[in-house]
């Protein structure tokens, strides 16, 4: 565990390049159930479990990239394609005895809760991004899903390995809602997490396409906007459906999808006459 921030981006990157990523206990349990009936498991079933856990998703992509042949030109950008390359039996052989988040953060229950909230937020964002990609007839919906799920992976690994510092960042923003995330991160971590994110993508050899989809500098690309708008909606709605940033999110999503405000509210399960009230139950529970 990191209790004192490293002095530079390079030192953070050096630390994470050696870190063994944990996964959710729920993921381990579900994989063990599938392992018991491995002969009946296919890539779609297995990927559905993996894609519930950003950390497991990251492990699989890093694994396949570390073993790619020099002659292999095409990047593997989705979990199903990664599993096709690995094979079901080799996957179960090589992904055993995975470290669990709940064990590593046993002494930090508040940080564990913070981590679980961020991971739930990532799943909500990925679900919305996938739905919108279908509406847009995107070239590869699964790529959009994975890029969105991993968008906040730098924040996720901070909760895993620097829980005390992550709580400090969270508390600063709770006390001052006007404080920008990158400002709080710079104060506590000595770095801004978007910069760490790009470096982590490099050391874990994430496909360039996924890195591009997660980079707001490419916001003129509709696929990138698909990802970032889903991330923004998940982040802002996690504060409650009356968050002041949501109207701008709605307008941008409507523009991306070329749909009416009423249509968007219906898709989100919200009452268009009272947008802060979910019509079909809370969406971010």
User: What's the pLDDT tens digit per position in 154-176?
Assistant: 999 999 999 999 999 999 999 99
Q: Tell me what the mean pLDDT of segment 75-86 comes to.
A: 92
Distance CA 267, CA 242 (A): 17
Question: How many angstroms separate the CA atoms of 11 and 29, rounded?
Answer: 34
Count of other CB atoms within 10 angstroms of residue 177: 9
Per-residue model confidence as pLDDT tens digits over 112-135: 999 999 999 999 999 999 999 999
**What is the reported pLDDT for 139?**
94
Q: Give the Å distances, CA to CA, from 209 to 39, 43, 77.
A: 33, 22, 7
User: Which residue in 87, 44, 79, 80 sits closest to 62, CA to CA?
Assistant: 79
């Amino acid at each position: 565990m990191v209790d004192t921030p490293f002095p530079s981006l390079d030192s953070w990157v050096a630390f994470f390049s050696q870190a063994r990523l944990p996964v959710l206990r729920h993921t381990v349990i579900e994989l063990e159930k599938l392992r018991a009936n491995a002969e009946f498991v296919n890539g779609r079933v297995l990927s559905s479990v993996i894609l519930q856990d950003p950390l497991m998703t990251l492990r699989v992509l890093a694994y396949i990239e570390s073993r790619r042949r020099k002659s292999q030109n095409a990047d593997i950008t989705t979990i199903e394609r990664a599993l096709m390359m690995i094979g079901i039996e080799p996957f179960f052989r090589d992904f055993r005895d995975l470290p669990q988040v709940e064990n590593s953060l046993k002494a930090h229950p508040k940080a564990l809760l913070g981590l679980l909230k961020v991971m739930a937020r990532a799943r909500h964002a990925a679900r919305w991004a996938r739905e919108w990609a279908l509406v847009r007839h995107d070239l590869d919906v699964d790529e959009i899903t994975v890029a969105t799920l991993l968008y906040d992976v730098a924040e996720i690994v901070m909760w895993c390995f620097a829980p005390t510092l992550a709580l400090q960042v969270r508390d600063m923003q709770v006390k001052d809602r006007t404080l920008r995330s990158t400002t709080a991160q710079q104060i506590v971590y000595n770095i801004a997490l978007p910069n760490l994110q790009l470096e982590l993508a490099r050391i874990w050899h994430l496909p360039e396409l996924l890195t591009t989809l997660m980079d707001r500098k490419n916001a003129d690309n509709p696929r990138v906007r698909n990802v970032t708008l889903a991330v923004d909606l998940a982040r802002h709605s996690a504060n409650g459906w009356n968050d002041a940033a949501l109207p701008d999110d709605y307008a941008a999503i409507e523009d991306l999808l070329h749909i009416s405000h009423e249509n968007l509210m219906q898709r989100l399960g919200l009452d268009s006459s009272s947008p802060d009230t979910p019509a079909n139950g809370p969406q971010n529970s």
